[in-house]
């Protein structure tokens, strides 16, 4: 377990997970590599088969997209031999045990990819507490045969850009349904699938397709180990429009029985009702606000990015590291999800008030509904309802909605240890990438563990988390000065 507020382990996720104790993680938020999308320049790993086998590998080569040839990321303009070499990736099958050696996401078929992810998440299942949650983001793609590669980066978030052939059982242009395939496989392996959340991107990447709508959403699977688990529904409550409330933020309108001065607008006497968070989340992708040079470990974030010199050659922007003066060592990551995404998952699934120092059981929120509070009829609602011939209570529940408020009145332990203090909960990301989930955990005062196979991404994540620690006024030497009774909340609710 981490002795610092965060720790990053470099290596195969399965090997790193093996060193984490059983039932020691409270929440896992992650986004594994998508199938058939791109290479992340990691060493091939052995998947499936017999771990004791003396493997005899049969080579299989496949073409993939060439590296990005810009000054911001990639290998530059003058290394043609390296460019040609990196267009090919090699995978192998063992002729003795059937094991496969290659980079996760470059499997020759969806079933193999899903089986390898199940292998990783079987270990996540072991380290996750019985009351923990797993939030898994995975995008989809289309089956395709390609003799050429898409070179425009704006198209790299969708479809097949690695030149793989159409898998057996699918046709060209078929939607792969990869999130559904993985969800069913994880269910079969013992996970509870509690929700399939639609992450809608209001401003998605453009596509050149003309025979289908542009892809503008991805899936977030909420999975658990048991039917009973920690989930802070209050942290995600959102404004609700009741039967007499069309615009809770505007000046209000006058319904029958209401005066124009009071109407339906939100006032201290007429607070905005809330409802349970829906499973459709509108979160825009955000561009990275950092630059990292792996040659000299130089890191520039936010306004400091202006310190990096720029030049334009043949219409391409070239960034030159001010420390080592190289333009070919920048670390980029195409698929980093926006900070709001893991923040929201952690606000719902990670014990924000802390856990018991003795047994690690989470403290849970206490609301007035938990104490038996009744639905409160909103002021000015009853006259309008009576005029329409319906009761105020039934009107408040029209179409399954309720418009009464739920208030948070404190926290209580879920164990019988009797200790009055708490320690931070621990979260995990087994596919860390550039460290966005750990940055989110830092902002919520959580302990965090990140696993990453690519050393360059791990180094970048290290700098991003350090930057977040400084911003949060936390000490990077392992100590924190966080009062878990007054810590900031994602949705600004009162605790």
pLDDT, tens digit, 9 for 90 and up, residues 112-149: 999 999 999 999 999 999 999 999 999 998 888 753 23
Cross-strand pairs, 92: 59, 101
Of 27-31, 244-248, 363-367, the one with minimum mean pLDDT is: 244-248
Q: Is 363's pLDDT higher than 70?
A: yes
pLDDT at position 275, please? 82
The contacts of residue 477 (CB under 8 Å, 6+ apart) are 4
Separation of alpha carbons 36 and 106, rounded Å? 5
**More confident site: 250 or 363:** 363
Separation of alpha carbons 38 and 160, rounded Å? 8
Q: Is 241's pLDDT higher than 80?
A: no
Q: Is 12's pLDDT higher than 90?
A: yes
pLDDT at position 183, please? 98
Alpha carbon distances (Å) from 488 to 362, 437, 477 = 18, 17, 22
Average of per-residue pLDDT across 358-386: 64
* Residue 345 CB coordination number (10 Å): 28
The contacts of residue 2 (CB under 8 Å, 6+ apart) are 426, 447, 448, 449
- Match 């792996």 to its residue by tokens: 294
Contact between 160 and 144 (Cβ < 8 Å): yes
What mean pLDDT is reported for the chain? Answer: 77
Separation of alpha carbons 34 and 22, rounded Å? 27
Alpha carbon distances (Å) from 325 to 289, 293, 308 = 20, 10, 10
Q: Is 90's pLDDT higher than 60?
A: no
pLDDT at position 3, please? 46
Average of per-residue pLDDT across 78-100: 64
Q: Please, which pLDDT band fits residue 334 given cuts at 50, 70 and 90?
A: low
Separation of alpha carbons 456 and 319, rounded Å? 18
Average of per-residue pLDDT across 320-333: 84
Q: What is the DSSP letter of 484?
A: T
**More confident site: 291 or 363:** 363
Average of per-residue pLDDT across 345-371: 90
Q: Is 490's pLDDT higher than 60?
A: no
**Would the pTM of this model clear 0.85, i.e. be above it?**
no
Q: Please, which pLDDT band fits residue 69 given cuts at 50, 70 and 90?
A: very low
Sign of CA pseudo-dihedral 235, 241, 247, 248: negative
Which among 87-96, 391-400, 435-444, 486-495 has the top mean pLDDT? 435-444
β-strand pairing of 128-138 with 217-224: antiparallel
Q: Is 101 exposed, middle or buried (0-12, 13-18, 19+ CB in 10 A)?
A: buried
Q: What is the DSSP letter of 334?
A: T
Residue spans of beta strands (DSSP E) within 73-160:
88-94, 100-102, 128-138
Q: What is the DSSP letter of 142?
A: B
């Amino acid at each position: 377990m981490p002795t610092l507020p965060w720790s990053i382990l470099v290596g195969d996720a399965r090997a790193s997970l093996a060193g984490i104790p059983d039932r020691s993680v409270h929440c896992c938020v992650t986004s594994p590599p998508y199938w058939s999308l791109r290479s992340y320049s990691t060493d091939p790993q052995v998947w499936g088969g017999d771990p004791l086998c003396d493997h005899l590998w049969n080579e299989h080569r496949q073409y993939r997209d060439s590296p990005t040839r810009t000054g911001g990321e990639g290998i530059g303009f003058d290394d043609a031999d390296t460019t040609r070499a990196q267009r090919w990736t090699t995978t192998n099958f063992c002729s003795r045990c059937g094991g496969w050696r290659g980079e996760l996401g470059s499997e020759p078929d969806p079933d193999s990819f899903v089986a390898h992810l199940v292998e990783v998440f079987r270990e996540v299942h072991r380290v996750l507490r019985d009351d923990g949650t797993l939030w898994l983001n995975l995008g989809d793609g289309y089956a395709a045969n390609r003799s050429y590669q898409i070179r425009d980066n704006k198209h790299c978030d969708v479809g097949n850009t690695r030149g793989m052939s159409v898998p057996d059982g699918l046709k060209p242009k078929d939607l792969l349904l990869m999130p559904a395939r993985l969800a069913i496989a994880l269910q079969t392996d013992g996970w509870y699938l509690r929700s399939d959340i639609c992450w809608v991107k209001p401003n998605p990447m453009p596509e050149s397709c003309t025979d289908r709508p542009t892809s503008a959403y991805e899936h977030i699977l909420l999975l658990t180990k048991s039917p009973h688990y920690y989930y802070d529904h209050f942290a995600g409550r959102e404004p609700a429009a009741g039967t007499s409330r069309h615009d809770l933020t505007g000046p209000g309108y006058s319904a029958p029985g209401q005066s124009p001065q009071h109407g339906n607008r939100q006032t201290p006497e007429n607070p905005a009702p809330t409802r349970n968070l829906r499973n459709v989340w509108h979160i825009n992708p955000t561009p990275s606000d950092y630059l990292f040079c792996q040659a000299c470990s130089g890191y520039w974030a936010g306004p400091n990015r202006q310190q990096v010199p720029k030049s334009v050659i043949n219409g391409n922007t070239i960034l030159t590291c001010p420390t080592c003066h190289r333009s070919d060592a920048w670390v980029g990551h195409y698929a980093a999800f926006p900070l709001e995404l893991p923040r929201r998952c952690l606000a719902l699934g990670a014990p924000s008030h802390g856990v018991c120092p003795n047994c690690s059981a989470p403290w849970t929120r206490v609301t007035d509904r938990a104490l038996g509070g009744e639905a409160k009829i909103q002021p000015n609602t009853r006259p309008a309802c009576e005029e329409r011939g319906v009761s105020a209570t039934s009107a408040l529940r029209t179409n399954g909605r309720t418009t009464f408020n739920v208030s948070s009145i404190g926290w209580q332990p879920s164990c019988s240890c009797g200790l009055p203090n708490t320690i931070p909960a621990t979260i995990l990301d087994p596919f860390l990438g550039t460290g966005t989930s750990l940055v989110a955990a830092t902002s919520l005062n959580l302990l965090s563990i990140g696993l990453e196979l690519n050393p360059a991404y791990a180094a970048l994540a290290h700098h991003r988390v350090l930057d977040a620690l400084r911003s949060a006024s936390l000490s990077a030497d392992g100590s924190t000065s966080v009062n878990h009774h007054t810590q900031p909340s994602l949705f600004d609710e009162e605790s």
